[in-house]
Every structure is written in structure tokens, then in C-alpha cells.
Amino acid sequence: MNRKPLILIVEDDERLMQVLAKHLRENDFEVAMAYDGQSAVRLFQQSNFDLVITDVMLPRLSGIEVSRAIRQMSSTVPILMLTALGTTDDKLEGFDAGADDYLVKPFEIRELVARINALIKRSRAHVGVSEVLKYADLEMNVRTKKVTRANKPLQLTPKEFNLLEYMLRNPERVLSRSEIAEKVWNTRFDTGTNFIDVYIAYLRKKVDRDFDLKLIHTRPGVGFILATKP
């Protein structure tokens, strides 16, 4: 029998923590709980979690710091951030720290469960896929997280890495904003199309700026494409 997915919840609001734990157990998940950031990092070191749910505002270590610490230990476990903040800058900070998705309070439990299932499904789908991706002179090692262009190392944030990985797995195919939102942000829910444009701009600066051959192109009104020609 397959074990139930194990989820670490990091939340300092005890009432909300108990509500989340109750509903997740009812939806066939195992749950571990931490009420501050330092406890969360210690718990993560002790068990093999399938997903982490963390609030942003926490005692001792913030959710941003927890995410960074987890990313030092695991590049693959999904991280879902919960927050009362909903601005673009707040979300970008979370994504850059390694979060895979962002849910603004208040939210419905069914939406939370849907996002959890999508994140876990995507994480498991990556098991056994090709570890080295290449296109033109761009190369990515999915396991070591190293990216180079013409043998020059590129330093990417976790979300930039995920976006570029998806483009490398789908070269010379136009990717719509909605597809990118679903496949990279792991959700069909609205994350704001401006996120995709922001991250495409980030990638262009790192992947294309210092090279004559541009690889990331915009197809107006349609989406984006990784190609050697516009």
C-alpha cells in the first residue's frame, strides 16, 4: 500500500494550524506541525516530507528564511506559501526564495487541497526525467542545478530555473501564459500574468543579454518561445 503524502505545516496561529491539519488529514494526508521557523527547519531535517506549507510571518525564522533553508537541503520538495500579503513584490520574494506556489489568506480549503495535489503530482512527474537539457549553446543539469550558456555559468533563482527548465523541455514551441502558469506555477488558479512577464524579463537578462544569438522570444498576443529565430 502506498503511504499517504507527508506534509509539514509551518504556522504560528494555533487555531489556523489545527483547522489546516484537520482538513488535510480528512483529505488523506499525513501532517507534521511547526509553530516557528527554526522548529520547521529541524523537523524538515528529520523526515522525508512530500510538501511544505509555510506562513510568511513566523517567529524566529520567517517563511522566506525557512524556504531558503529547505532549498539548501532539497531542490525538489514543493513549498507552498500562505500569507496575508498579496502584492507582486511579496510574491516575487517568496518565489525567489524557492517557493513553488503562493496562496493569499483567506482561502478555501478545496483550493488549498487542489494546489497541494498539483504540486505533489508535478514533483513526482519529475522523477526519472532527463537530467541534462540542451538547446543551442544553453545547457542545464537538472540534478546539480547548474546552467551554462556557451560554457559561461548562469546564476538563476529557483523560480527562474523552473521556468527555464520548462522552456528547455519544450523548445521551439510557443508557450502561452496560462500554460506557463499551470506548468511552472503548478496551478490553474490566477497567479497574475504579470508574474510570467517579469520572470521572462529576468531570464532574458541572464540568458540572452551578453550573447548575440537571442534564444527567448515573445510572440505578441500568444506567448513565449525558446528558439534560435524570433
Rounded CA-CA distance 46/17 in Å is 20
Percent of the chain with pLDDT over 70: 91
107-143 pLDDT, tens digit each: 899 999 999 998 888 877 665 556 789 999 999 988 7
Inter-residue contact 140 to 165 (CB < 8 Å) = yes
The arithmetic mean of pLDDT across residues 4-8, rounded, is 93
The per-residue pLDDT for range 162-195, each reduced to its tens digit, is 899 999 999 999 999 888 888 887 665 454 558 7
Indicate the domain borders of the chain.
6-125, 132-226
CATH classification number, 132-226, choose in 3.10.450.50, 1.10.540.10, 1.20.1260.10, 1.10.10.10:
1.10.10.10
Distances (CA, A) of 158 to 48, 94, 95, 221: 20, 10, 7, 27
Q: What is the pLDDT of residues 19-30, one digit of tens each?
A: 999 999 999 999
Q: How confident is the model at residue 54 (pLDDT cuts 50, 70, 90)?
A: very high
Cis status, amide bond into 59, omega within 30 of 0: no
**CB neighbours of 188 closer than 8 A, spacing ≥ 6?**
114, 118, 181, 182
Count of other CB atoms within 10 angstroms of residue 137: 14
Q: Whole-model pTM?
A: 0.67
pLDDT band at 1 (very low <50, low <70, confident <90, very high): very low
Name residue, grid cell 513549498: 79
Tell me the fold of 6-125.
Rossmann fold (3.40.50)
pLDDT score at 186: 66
